């Protein structure tokens, strides 16, 4: 078991002996594509916690940049990408070039221009070409399911996450 420190100062146990943990690896603070996806998670956070899942979201940005965001789940700063390497989360030029990313880039950027999302810092030490990844961990830390994104907007939807957790419950791993 490891104890992480969220940007809020909260101590976060991974794995969590009382619930499943959904590790999300996002790109950087202010990423319009990440912001768009995370808003869907924020809107349905009550459903996620009711399903026995704890959200833990990593960004490869410094903690000072992440503290500006008001998110209802643990946010972990990993500017050195230590945990990204540990979980095999990569960067690639295809992150932004894939056609499935373009709509999210446009929507997220428009919402940033309109002031709904905070803009990113002009310089990203960890780069702008990160790929997302998701991991669902059991209470003992074993990986129940994982997804390494093929482009910047290729992550589990809330429905997919809930289905994965539900499948686990139905298989008798309570």
Pairing relationship of beta strands 74-77 and 53-59 according to DSSP bridges? parallel
With a cut of 60, say whether residue 8 has pLDDT above it.
yes
Q: What is the pLDDT of residue 142?
A: 96
Three state DSSP letters for 43-68? HCHHHHHHCCEEEEEEECCCHHHHCC
Q: What is the pLDDT of residue 114?
A: 67
Q: Kindly state the tokens that stand for 28.
A: 């950087």
- CATH number, domain of 34, equals 3.40.30.10
* CA distance linking residue 61 with residue 67, whole number of Å: 10
Residues in the chain: 174
pLDDT level of residue 145 (50, 70, 90 thresholds): very high
Q: What is the pLDDT of residue 70?
A: 86
With a cut of 90, say whether residue 152 has pLDDT above it.
no
Q: What is the pLDDT of residue 68?
A: 84
Top-confidence residue, 27 or 109: 27
Residues whose CB falls within 8 Å of the CB of residue 74, separated by 6 or more in sequence, listed in order? 4, 6, 8, 10, 12, 54, 55, 56, 57
> Averaged over 40-62, what is the pLDDT?
96
Task: Report the SS3 class of residue 104.
Answer: helix
Does 50 reside within a domain? Answer: yes
Does 68 reside within a domain? Answer: yes
pLDDT in tens, 104-144: 667 767 766 667 666 666 666 666 678 899 999 999 999 99
Q: What is the pLDDT of residue 69?
A: 86
Does 114 reside within a domain? Answer: yes
Residue (of 113, 149, 89) closest to 35 by Cα position: 113
Q: What is the pLDDT of residue 168?
A: 66
* Contact between residue 141 and residue 149 where contact means Cβ atoms under 8 Å apart: no
H or E stretch at 21 = strand 20-25
Does 171 reside within a domain? Answer: no
Does 174 reside within a domain? Answer: no
Does 173 reside within a domain? Answer: no
Does 108 reside within a domain? Answer: yes
Does 31 reside within a domain? Answer: yes
* CA distance linking residue 152 with residue 96, whole number of Å: 6
Give this prediction's pTM: 0.86
Q: Domain of 150?
A: 2-166
pLDDT in tens, 52-104: 999 999 999 999 989 988 899 999 999 999 999 999 998 777 776 767 777 66
Query: For the chain, what is the domain count?
Result: 1
């Amino acid at each position: 078991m490891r104890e992480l420190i969220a940007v809020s100062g909260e101590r976060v146990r991974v794995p969590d002996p009382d619930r499943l943990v959904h590790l999300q690896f996002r790109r950087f603070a202010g990423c319009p594509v990440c912001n768009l996806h995370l808003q869907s998670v924020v809107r349905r956070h009550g459903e996620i916690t009711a399903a026995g899942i704890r959200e833990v979201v990593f960004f490869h940005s410094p903690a000072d940049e992440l503290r500006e965001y008001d998110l209802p789940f643990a946010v972990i700063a990993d500017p050195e990408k230590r945990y990204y390497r540990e979980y095999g989360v990569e960067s690639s030029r295809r992150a932004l070039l894939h056609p499935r990313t373009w709509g999210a880039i446009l929507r997220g950027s428009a919402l940033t221009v309109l002031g709904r999302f905070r803009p990113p810092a002009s310089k990203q030490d960890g780069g702008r070409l990160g790929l997302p990844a998701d991991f669902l961990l059991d209470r003992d830390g074993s990986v129940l399911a994982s997804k390494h994104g093929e482009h910047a907007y290729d992550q589990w939807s809330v429905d997919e996450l809930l289905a994965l957790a539900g499948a686990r419950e139905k298989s008798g791993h309570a």
